[in-house]
Chain A
């Protein structure tokens, strides 16, 4: 059996932005109407279909409408236009432990929260031990939840929500709860749900999560659907939008000093965009100074595609004094062994002068490089640590 679990057809959602939040009958009567407001479209004519058994990601910048869309799917918000059809039982993980009553014990709250999420008493009886064990709260289950730490609270909330055994699970950025051990159990649980053929719709900022978990991704921008398709394609397109190059040549400037171009040179001195881990490279910044610039400071910043800054070496950080510059020239940052592991990275320039520290890297004008498999021993992660293993003890062969 396969088909659509969620069908979003031409959905638009409008919010009201009140000028004065004057929610009183008295004020309304005196003014003859309710508070004035502007309308704002959080979603405009969005149509997507989520297939049964797939994991669907919703990405976009803050305010793009992805959470609004998720809430519409969860029926918390009602679209002003269009229609959303969902099939099967839905569980929405928008906020964990919503509806917990602080004075009631963990046990009472499991039953309460479970029934809010649509479980019957009988189902809760059979799943109760599992829920408590998953949250790791066996000892505290009869304590009022107001005495719980925030971690315990969230864990219990998550545990109830995940054990609803929904056909469709809607998740909004709640994956990052609890300690490392709990996170591991969560991702195991998600993997298990996906293996069982459950459908998951997830809103997240973590492109890493999207890449690892999602089959299909929709990219929203200001409430409009920009792209929908296989995860990798859409994520790359998103990154292209956010960090992509445009036709402006200026990369970064400080007091009349501009970096016009960044190049990566390989061992033979050729400008390349792809190298292997462990190879020597030179990052060359081509600058142009309109006037004489005293004490310029150059830097390069290396980012992973999901925005993690891996390193930002600068001239003043290395104790290098750059002489006053005028006209055009270039600055080289030589790397003997490139320790980046295979992947795609963005390299940007940062500039400063004198006492003014370097500003944030301008990611709109990055050099995108690809690192391919080289001599590193590692397979996972972003950088090679270049370490070595040594085993101590007198291990004896049997």
Chain B
């Protein structure tokens, strides 16, 4: 509990470090903040061309919204994914790249993780804002769902913090964690229904004569549920499946607790190992 008190006492430090991340990120680039919007737009363009046009993936019709647009379907999954995947990409570097600070100044080390996630969250919120505007333009009335959207983003942020605590501290001891993460993220991206609708995943399949419940196994992945939840609120305009939401939230809390535990196990000798 003393740690929590210490953290609230350092609220300003979290804010300042977050600002450092945000300000430092796009300093000296001509487009500046434009990059944080251009990046997802570019990838949406590519996925739309490859999956929507070449592979002719048919987007589902939103129920009850009646919306059918591959680009918007894509965005509703891609933006939440981007938040988690950038958290996972940056996480291994958080402590290592701030090694000098850790070795020379004392402050609760998890603050570095929090502020990195905060910075990513702010970027992400802007992206969500843009998506909402696009949805409104397409006739999807998302405004009443905004509190729900924010709740789901908050759950996602809890998960991001947990993963970042875990990966950042592990990478101090095992410097190749970040390489594993890079590979893992690629596999993870296609194991979540972002560029394709979930109905393309077979419910059952017969493998070597045994009936395998493929969809069930597929849905064990909490990120599958996360994307489903976001699609429900943004694309379909309906209250998310409560099991999806609950399953995702449990994972988020579990990962956060596990990350916190590992971080504090590894924390005492951080200044020596970093």
Q: Which residues of A contact B (CB under 8 A)?
A: 15-16, 23-26, 28, 34, 71, 74-78, 90, 92, 94-95, 98-99, 101, 103-104, 108, 111-112, 115-118, 120-121, 144
Contact = CB atoms under 8 A, between A and B. Distances in A.
A16 B272 contact: yes
B103 A76 contact: yes
Given A76-B106, A104-B24, 4 more contacts: A76-B104, A103-B24, A116-B13, A116-B107
- Which of the four size classes fits the interface of chain B? 20 to 34
Contact of A95 (B24, B104, B107, B268): B104
A99 B100 contact: yes
A254 B155 CA distance: 78
B175 A116 contact: no
Contacts of A120: 12
Contact of B23 (A23, A74, A108): A108
B177 interface: yes
B176 interface: yes
B269 interface: yes
Contacts of B177: 25
Contacts of B33: none
Q: Which of A23, A95, A108, A121 has the most CB of B within 10 A?
A: A23
Interface string B253-274: 0000000000000001101100
B190 interface: no
A112 B112 CA distance: 13
A26 B20 contact: no
B216 to A, nearest CB: 31
Contacts of A118: 13, 107
Contact of B106 (A23, A75, A108, A144): A75
Contacts of B207: none
Interface string B97-110: 01011111111000
Contact of B13 (A15, A78, A115): A115
A120 B180 CA distance: 39
B100 A115 contact: no
A116 B23 CA distance: 17
Contacts of A76: 102-106, 271
Contacts of A74: 105-106
Interface in B173-199: 173-177, 180
B16 A112 contact: yes
B105 A99 contact: yes
B272 A15 contact: yes
B10 to A, nearest CB: 8
8 contacts: A15-B272, A23-B173, A77-B272, A92-B105, A112-B16, A115-B12, A115-B13, A115-B17
A95 B176 CA distance: 29
A25 B180 contact: yes
A25 B101 CA distance: 25
A98 B174 contact: no
A101 B22 CA distance: 12
B24 A92 contact: no
B3 interface: no
B12 A25 contact: no
Nearest to B180: A25
A101 B16 CA distance: 12
Given A98-B100, A101-B24, A116 B272 contact: no
A77 B20 CA distance: 25
B174 A103 contact: no
B35 to A, nearest CB: 15
Contacts of A24: 174-176
A16 B15 CA distance: 35
Contacts of A34: 173
Given A24-B175, A25-B177, A115-B16, A103 B105 contact: no
A104 B16 CA distance: 12
A98 B23 contact: no
A99 B106 CA distance: 12
A112 B24 CA distance: 12
A34 B174 CA distance: 9
Q: Which of A23, A103, A115, A120 has the most CB of B within 10 A?
A: A115
